[in-house]
Amino acid sequence: MKLNRQQELAVRHVDGPILVLAGAGSGKTRVIVKRIANLITDAGIYPWHILAITFTNKAANEMKTRLETMLQESDSRKITVGTFHSVCTRILRFEHNALKLSRNFSIADEANQLTRIKRALKETGANPDILTPKLLISKISRAKNQFETPETWQNKSGYNPFNKTFAEIFQLYQQGLKADQSLDFDDLITETVRLFQNEPHILSKYQDKYRYILIDEYQDTNNAQYMFVKLLSGRYRNVMAVGDDDQSIYQWRGAEISNIINFHKDFPGAKTIKLEQNYRSTQIILTAASALMRHNKKRNPKTLWTDIQGGELIHLETWLNDKEEARAICRNITNKVNSGFRKYSDYAVLYRVNAQSRVLEEAFQSQKIPYRVVGNTSFFKRKEVKDLLAYIRLVLNTGDSVSCRRILNVPRRGIGKTTLNDLEEVAVRNGTDLFSSIGLLLQTNQLNSRKHQSLEAFVSLINALKKIDQENNAEDVVRHLLQMTGYRESFVIHASAEAKASIEIIDEFVNTVADYVVHGDGSLSGFADYLSLYSDDEDGDLGADTNQVQLMTLHNAKGLEFTGVFIAGLEEELCPLIRNNKESLSAELLEEERRLLYVGMTRARQELHLYNAERRFLYGREMVRQPSRFLYEIPSESLKQVDHARDMMQKTKSNPAAARKSFNSGDRVLHATWGTGTVVDCSGDGPTAKVVINFDRGLKKKLLAGPANLVHLNRNISRIKT
């Protein structure tokens, strides 16, 4: 397809800063890829001078693949494509000396951060109900991205006790990371920026290396990432920032929309190009999505347009509950596929929170529809993966005490609480890491022989693995690791289904490392980075079953497109999400939620299906739901609306059989006015039976079964029982 005028201008741009405001579906990835190709083939720029930064690893891989098809392999290989985190990790590992950091520093993932925060909370004795671990992590993240340190917080905390506690925890957290030779995700960026600031010759080297910088999803960059770009581009100023303020959905984690708005101030003389033609969606879908977005006040007005006239109306279906919703989605997809014009992979089901995937997965399984949950990091959250990763981290960096503590007694080797406490004490007293403290404790000769033996065995195990790592690839190390620790065998003994699942995960882990050795550099440290930075699980073997429906969160759908999109759970408090009933939704958050739905809607090419349910099982209980306010912001002429919940209620109402059912205490029932409740007592039979019900909204009512038209919620009984 030919480029349009604006796209052409962006692709042909060579020198100087340029901002590309690219609306949804306006072909921005194509523009970035073509411009890179153009820089090399037409402008004669060396490929190693080009740095392309994407938001996810997935996007990076896709870009690499597309570049490979357009360029000679010798060229495409030399272009640097990656996320901020992966690019910075590479720089830090290379320049570790200047930072007085081990080359094999560990990357602390979220779980690792959490254990550190919890420990710091305990140490300070702060109340974890007010400063919750999660809140602390996000506060620290924000502080770091503003280049604030525990010290600056100490100074500015003044008399505010919360700030003071925060400063203390921040300090402990940071000390812990440092002692363990670990960096968290934010450090990866901020430490690179500090390196650039403190070592002009290093900055100069990289400025010279990366003369052409392209950044995708610029609306989602944070302050530290901005600083990185600003410094790195300082000499040549060849920055192309591509983004769309309407698709900014990461402000919650520090993304600053001002980066895109202030681009001209930051890079004087910058060109601006607006891509407003949408090549993806039908007029109907685009009109509806634009109408939704007009409710946002803080945005640059824009007029997206499309050549793809008309199209199907957007379907809006209301169901009685989340199970019915999931079943309906499955039925609709099956019908479409059976019609012969669509395949499973044409469809994606999007939702606001990962917890929604469960009901959907159950429905897909029972209807035998092939599906894949995208971006769900469940594999990386598995205990087995964390354990093995902890081993790897410890082998690479024995200073990593958090990892050491995790696997010191996994599998069981008789090093329990008491010994661990002793070791920690030795570590603190000598100012060493946990692993070194084992050697120190062994020297004291104060241990009984059993303890002595198991500790000694552990040390030699790790040392042996270190040696193996020096001469072998990551796969060999992992295989030796499993063999020497007996980790896999520790599950084989148990015949339980749980143990079987564990073994499957371990085998999958081995496959992952084998795959990495084939496709990556094969090193253990490279593999550890891969595991730490690639939280979106790529599904290495994409060749297998690709004809699957994709399930993912709205966030994960960014940058993707599908022929048909189903969005589930369009209800108040879920979309827009309100986590805390006490807290009201700020205007900023509401607008971000709206943008998130906008991103979801604009993923659709031909079909868009929206769903809401009147009841939903969430946070451990069934809740009565209200339709999302966003549904009222979509013009009704774009919608084809069916209320199946109402139909179902009416059907049961007109069916006297329902009234004849007798009720038992414990039964879950539904009443047209009072909603759901639990039967606590029932006397009599048939329509004249007197039923006492505790309604979920807090009312207790005595009703006559007949006129009350109670509906048995049998479909929910299995859930309520457990």
- Torsion sign across C-alpha atoms 597, 598, 604, 610: positive
Pairwise CA distance, residues 210 & 203, whole Å? 11
User: CA separation (Å) from 172 to 152, 214, 405, 425, 430?
Assistant: 14, 37, 18, 17, 18
Q: By CB under 7 A, tell whether 620 contacts DNA.
A: yes
Q: By CB under 7 A, tell whether 370 contacts DNA.
A: no
Active-site annotation holder among 28, 558, 594, 595: 28
Q: Judged by CB, which is closer to DNA: 5, or 721?
A: 721
Q: By CB under 7 A, tell whether 228 contacts DNA.
A: no
Q: By CB under 7 A, tell whether 582 contacts DNA.
A: no
Single-letter amino acid code for the residue at 481: L
At residue 81, what are phi and psi to the nearest 5 degrees? Answer: -125, 130
Q: Which of 225, 419, 612, 676 binds DNA (CB under 7 A)?
A: 419
Q: By CB under 7 A, tell whether 415 contacts DNA.
A: yes
Active-site annotation holder among 211, 280, 393, 603: 603
Calculate Rg over the CA atoms of the chain. Answer: 29
Active-site annotation holder among 168, 184, 216, 325: 216
Q: By CB under 7 A, tell whether 14 contacts DNA.
A: no
* Residue 317: partners with Cβ closer than 8 Å, 6 or more residues away: 325, 328, 609, 610, 611, 612, 641, 642, 643, 644
Active-site annotation holder among 8, 29, 302, 413: 29
Pairwise CA distance, residues 696 & 679, whole Å? 11
Cβ of residue 323: shortest distance to DNA, in angstroms? 12
Alpha-carbon torsion, ordered 326, 330, 331, 334, to 10 deg: 180
Site for DNA in 648-707 (CB under 7 A): none
Q: Judged by CB, which is closer to DNA: 209, or 555?
A: 555
Site for DNA in 277-336 (CB under 7 A): none
Cβ of residue 478: shortest distance to DNA, in angstroms? 22
Is residue 603 part of the annotated active site? The answer reads yes
Binding region for DNA (CB under 7 A) out of 37-45, 69-77, 438-446, 713-721: 713-721
Is residue 29 part of the annotated active site? The answer reads yes
Q: By CB under 7 A, tell whether 354 contacts DNA.
A: yes
Binding region for DNA (CB under 7 A) out of 49-57, 337-345, 503-511, 608-616: 49-57
Q: Judged by CB, which is closer to DNA: 234, or 439?
A: 439
Cβ of residue 408: shortest distance to DNA, in angstroms? 9
Burial class (CB in 10 A: 0-12, 13-18, 19+), 249: buried
Single-letter amino acid code for the residue at 556: N
Q: Which of 30, 209, 413, 479 binds DNA (CB under 7 A)?
A: 413
Q: Judged by CB, which is closer to DNA: 285, or 623?
A: 623
Q: By CB under 7 A, tell whether 57 contacts DNA.
A: yes
Pairwise CA distance, residues 624 & 618, whole Å? 10
Binding region for DNA (CB under 7 A) out of 14-22, 25-33, 286-294, 407-415: 407-415
**Which tokens go with 718?**
């299995």
Q: Which of 418, 443, 449, 584 binds DNA (CB under 7 A)?
A: 418
**Which tokens go with 356?**
């929604």
Long-range contacts of 716-719 (CB under 8 A, 24+ apart): 716/321, 716/323, 716/617, 716/622, 716/668, 717/667, 717/668, 719/617, 719/622
Cβ of residue 80: shortest distance to DNA, in angstroms? 15
Angle at alpha carbon of residue 157, lines to 154 and 159, rounded to 5°: 125
Q: Which of 16, 375, 526, 540 binds DNA (CB under 7 A)?
A: 375
Q: Judged by CB, which is closer to DNA: 556, or 676?
A: 556
* C-beta of residue 242 within 8 angstroms of C-beta of residue 59: no
Q: By CB under 7 A, tell whether 451 contacts DNA.
A: yes
Beta bridge partners of 562: 604
Q: By CB under 7 A, tell whether 437 contacts DNA.
A: no
Site for DNA in 139-178 (CB under 7 A): 141
**Which tokens go with 154?**
């100490």
Q: Which of 445, 541, 582, 619 binds DNA (CB under 7 A)?
A: 619
Q: Judged by CB, which is closer to DNA: 111, or 313?
A: 111
Q: Which of 8, 199, 536, 696 binds DNA (CB under 7 A)?
A: 536
Q: By CB under 7 A, tell whether 5 contacts DNA.
A: no
Q: Which of 26, 86, 282, 332 binds DNA (CB under 7 A)?
A: 86
Candidates 144, 196, 199; CA nearest to 174 is 144
Pairwise CA distance, residues 428 & 437, whole Å? 9
* C-beta of residue 694 within 8 angstroms of C-beta of residue 677: yes
Pairwise CA distance, residues 608 & 595, whole Å? 17
- Reading phi first (left if > 0) and then psi (alpha if -120 to 50, else beta), residue 13 is in beta
Is residue 507 part of the annotated active site? The answer reads no
What angle do the packed helices 223-232 and 200-209 form, to 10 degrees?
80
Binding region for DNA (CB under 7 A) out of 307-315, 364-372, 412-420, 641-649: 412-420
User: CA separation (Å) from 218 to 54, 222, 239, 392?
Assistant: 9, 9, 11, 34
Is residue 626 part of the annotated active site? The answer reads no
Q: Which of 77, 412, 653, 702 binds DNA (CB under 7 A)?
A: 412
Pairwise CA distance, residues 567 & 576, whole Å? 13
Is residue 453 part of the annotated active site? The answer reads no
Q: Judged by CB, which is closer to DNA: 475, or 667?
A: 667
Cβ of residue 150: shortest distance to DNA, in angstroms? 19
Alpha-carbon torsion, ordered 137, 140, 144, 147, to 10 deg: 170
Binding string, residues 539-558; x marks residues near DNA by CB under 7 A: --------------x-xx--
Q: Which of 313, 577, 649, 704 binds DNA (CB under 7 A)?
A: 577
Q: Judged by CB, which is closer to DNA: 85, or 393?
A: 85
* C-beta of residue 101 within 8 angstroms of C-beta of residue 181: yes
Q: By CB under 7 A, tell whether 112 contacts DNA.
A: no
Cβ of residue 693: shortest distance to DNA, in angstroms? 20
380 membership: H or E segment, kind and range: helix 378-381
* C-beta of residue 80 within 8 angstroms of C-beta of residue 215: no
Binding string, residues 233-262; x marks residues near DNA by CB under 7 A: -----------------x-xx---------
Cβ of residue 249: shortest distance to DNA, in angstroms? 8
Active-site annotation holder among 168, 217, 593, 607: 217
* C-beta of residue 163 within 8 angstroms of C-beta of residue 130: no
Q: Which of 70, 353, 484, 590 binds DNA (CB under 7 A)?
A: 353
DSSP letter string, 292-320: HHTT-SSS-----EES----PPEEEEEEE
E strands, 475-592, are 549-553, 562-567
Q: Judged by CB, which is closer to DNA: 118, or 331?
A: 118
Q: Judged by CB, which is closer to DNA: 34, or 382?
A: 382
Pairwise CA distance, residues 252 & 248, whole Å? 10
Active-site annotation holder among 247, 485, 548, 553: 247
Binding region for DNA (CB under 7 A) out of 96-104, 352-360, 438-446, 564-572: 352-360
Single-letter amino acid code for the residue at 194: R
Binding region for DNA (CB under 7 A) out of 351-359, 431-439, 506-514, 692-700: 351-359
Mind telling me the catalytic residues? 28-29, 216-217, 247, 603
Interface residues with DNA (CB under 7 A)? 55-58, 83-86, 110, 118, 132-134, 138, 141, 185-186, 250, 252-253, 353-355, 375, 381, 383, 409, 412-419, 451, 533, 535-536, 553, 555-556, 577, 579, 589, 592, 617-620, 719-722
